[in-house]
Amino acid sequence: MAVLCKPAIEVPEYVITKDETLELARRLHGDHPQLGLVLRLIENTGVQKRHLIQPIEKVLQHPGVDARSATYEAHTKARVPTVVRRALDHAELEPQQIDVIIYVSCTGFMMPPPTAWLIDTMGFRPETRQLPIAQLGCAAGGAAINRAHDFCTAYPEANALIVACEFCSLCYQPTDLGVGSLLSNGLFGDGIAAAVVRGNGGTGVRLERNGSYIIPGTEKWISYAVRSTGFHFQLDKRVPGTMEPLAPALQAVAEQHAWNAGKMDFYIIHAGGPRILDDLSLFLDVPQEAFRFSRATLTEYGNIASAVVLDALARMFDEASALDGHRGLMAGFGPGITAEIALGTWTSEFES
C-alpha cells in the first residue's frame, strides 16, 4: 500500500508576532466600530506568530494583481525546490522516480503551472504527470494526500510528490474592513510543504482509505470574491461551528473501514482555528492532547492553508511517538464547506 513519508516544511524569514498584529490592527483600524471584537477574535486564535515572504510594510501595500502575481511566481521558484529536495530525501527517492506531482495552492496563479517548471528544472522525467489544484483552499492539503493515494492505488508501483505552496500574505486587501476579513489578517501565514507518497516501501503513514464530504448549503461560507484587485477572502461567522456536522462524516469514513474515529492513535487535522480542534475533541470524544500537532502548527505558524496537515504530520514524525500498527485519521477542511478525510496505519518497515 502507498505510504506517506515525512514531509519537508519551510516558513519564510519575516516574522510578525501576535502582539505586533494586535498593535497593527489598532493603528490601522482605530476608528472601526467593531475593533474590540476583532482584537478579541485575533487574541483567541491562539496564533503567537506568523511567517511572511515579505516585510510587513510591503505586505500592507497593494501594488496590483500583476505585481503580486510576479511576486508569487518569483518566491515559488526561489523557495519550492529546496523543500521538494528535502521531501525526496526523506523518502529516499530521486526526481526520476516520481510519477506524478500534485501541486496545491490557493494564494497565487501560474500558467503553465509550477509543476511544469519543476519538471523542467529539477530533473523529473518529461513523462511525469501533473495535477495542479487551485480552488480547494485549506482542504487541498488533505485532497492532495487523497489524490496521491488514489494514483498509487491505480498504479501500485508509482510514487507521488505533493507540494503545498501558500503565500497567504499576498491576498491581503487593505480595503476589506469586514470582521471576517480583519480576523483573517491576524490568522493566516505563509508556508511551503512537500511530501512523497511511495507506492512501495517507505516509513510513515500507510494510506488505507479516503473520503470527502461537503456540508449542504455552505457553499458561500468560505470563499473568494475575485475582483480587479485580486482575491478577497470572505468568511461567514458560522464557519467555526462546522465541526458538529463534519464529525459524523469523519466517523462514517472510519466506520466504512471498521474503525472508530474516536479511538485513533493519532490525529492530523487542519486547524483553521482553535474552535475546530476544541469541537472535534468534544464531538469525537477524544482528549485535547490528541490534536497537539495541529495546535502547535496554529500557534507557531498560524493558518498556512493547505500546508497545515503536512506540517502537523511532520511534527508527529519529529516527536517519534507513532509505533508500528498505530491507526490514524487525517483531515483537511476548506471551502464548500469540504472535508477531505484519510485513514492510515503507521509503518516503519522500509522496503526497496
Task: Confirm if 4 and 204 have CB atoms less than 8 A apart.
Answer: yes
Is 138 among the residues known to form the active site? yes
Cell numbers representing residue 200 in the block:
512501495
Task: Confirm if 140 and 164 have CB atoms less than 8 A apart.
Answer: yes
Half-sphere exposure of 79 (CA within 13 A, CB side): 25
Residue labelled with grid coordinates 478579541: 40
Nearest to 166 by CA among 311, 16, 304: 304
Catalytic residue among 5, 106, 138, 171: 138
Phi, psi torsion values for 119, nearest 5 degrees: -60, -40
Q: What is the signed CA dihedral for 306, 310, 316, 317, rounded to 10 degrees?
A: -170
- The count of residues in the chain is 352
Distances (CA, A) of 177 to 108, 181, 226: 22, 6, 16
Task: List for the chain the helix, strand, coil content (%; round to 5).
Answer: 45, 25, 30
Task: Confirm if 5 and 347 have CB atoms less than 8 A apart.
Answer: no
Nearest to 104 by CA among 343, 337, 334: 334
Our measurement of the distance from residue 314's CA atom to the centroid of its chain's CA atoms, rounded to an integer in Å, reads: 12
Phi, psi torsion values for 47, nearest 5 degrees: -75, 120
How many whole angstroms separate alpha carbon 143 and alpha carbon 331?
Answer: 9
What b/e string do you get for 105-117 counting C-beta neighbours within 10 Å, with b at 16 or more? Answer: bbbbbbeebbbbb
Known catalytic residues are 138
